[in-house]
Amino acid sequence: MPFDFSVFLRWDFYVFLGQGALITFFISTISQFIGVFLGLILALLQSSRISILKNFAKAYIWIFRGTPLLVQLIIIYSGLPQLGIRFTEIQSAIIGLGLNSAAYISEIFRASIDAIDISQIEAARIDGANDLKAMQHIILPQSLRIAVPPLGNEFIAMLKNSSLVSAISLSELLHRTTLLISSTYKSLELFIMAAMFYLIMTTVLTYFQSKLEHYLQENVK
């Protein structure tokens, strides 16, 4: 099985895989937005003093972190229709990835909120601020800055995990690669090609992450 360099000259392969990469990027980005938003809410619920809210958040994280993503996706795509709830492939993928990553992201936020020194809240209280105000103006801005690097990790992990959506008939990057391999038998060459697309996407993400880190360093004090 000699290494076949001519595969890398097939412009049509780049187009075909590139379309898959766009699907991967699109669903990962939207899901990440949902994950960050829900994750923040869950983290706040977890640090709340009302036990129902706290337990709700704990249960949510327990379920979504404790079961495989593949199972969650198949339940959303193929299980819910039996209850009369029907989402398209794209919607199922975004909901599944978004709800799943929210569980992980909420732990990131919880850790970064805990990282802020308790004395700051006490100081805020002395200044007459209530707990909500202290959270909004003092704790959250600082913890967001701490949360950015692990959030970047989470986003990159999501980009790669999203290949599971091929089990709900979304033809993303990795699935398109295996389709091409099945008919051309050029596995090493095509996997390298797929790896290049993943690297391009993660490079773009890493760039924006460092920009965001820099911005928060300068502007959020």
Partner 1 sequence: MNRKLSSCIGYFLLVFVFLITACSSMAETKQAPLSEFDLVEPGVLTIGADAAYPPHTYLDADTKQLVGLDVDLANEIGERLGLEVKFVTIEWKGIIPALQAKRFDIITAEMNITEERKSTVDFSDVVFTSGHVLVVRSDNTDIHKPEDLTGRIVLVPIGTTEEQEAKKYTENVKTYSLLSECFRELQLGRGDAIIVELSVASEYIKKSGGALKVVSGPWTETQSAFAFRKDTASIKLREAINKTLSEMRSDGTYDLILSHWIVKVEQ
The SS3 assignment for 1 reads coil
**How far is CA 20 from its chain centroid?**
18
C-alpha to C-alpha distance for 100 and 70, rounded to whole angstroms: 10
Question: Is position 77 an interface residue for partner 1 (rule: CB under 8 A)?
Answer: yes
Residues contacting partner 1: total by CB under 8 A: 50
Structure tokens at 23: 């699907």
Instruction: Report which DSSP code applies to 137.
Output: I
Any contact of residue 173 with partner 1 (CB under 8 A)? no
Pattern 135-164, partner 1, x by CB under 8 A: -xx--xx--x--------------------
Alpha-carbon dihedral 171, 200, 29, 173, rounded to 10 degrees: 10
Long-range CB contacts (within 8 A, 24+) of 180-186: 180/13, 180/16, 180/17, 184/7, 186/4, 186/7
Binder among 9, 50, 85, 126 for partner 1 (CB under 8 A): 85
Structural contact between residues 135 and 109, judged by C-beta atoms closer than 8 angstroms:
no
| Six-digit token string for 104 | 């992980």
* Strand positions, DSSP E, 58-105: none
- Closer residue to partner 1, CB minimum distance, 91 or 210: 91
Contacting residue, 55, 62, 79, 214, with partner 1 by CB under 8 A? 79
Report the residue number, 30 or 53, with the smaller CB distance to partner 1: 30
Residue number, 22 or 74, with CB nearest to partner 1: 74
Residues 86-125 that bind partner 1 (CB under 8 A): 86-88, 91, 94-95
Any idea how long the chain is? 221
Of the residues 6, 51, 119, 183, which one makes contact with partner 1 according to CB under 8 A:
183
Instruction: Give the binding site for partner 1 (CB under 8 A).
Output: 1, 12-13, 16, 30, 33-34, 36-38, 40, 70, 74, 77-82, 84-88, 91, 94-95, 136-137, 140-141, 144, 166-169, 171, 175, 178-185, 187-188, 219-220
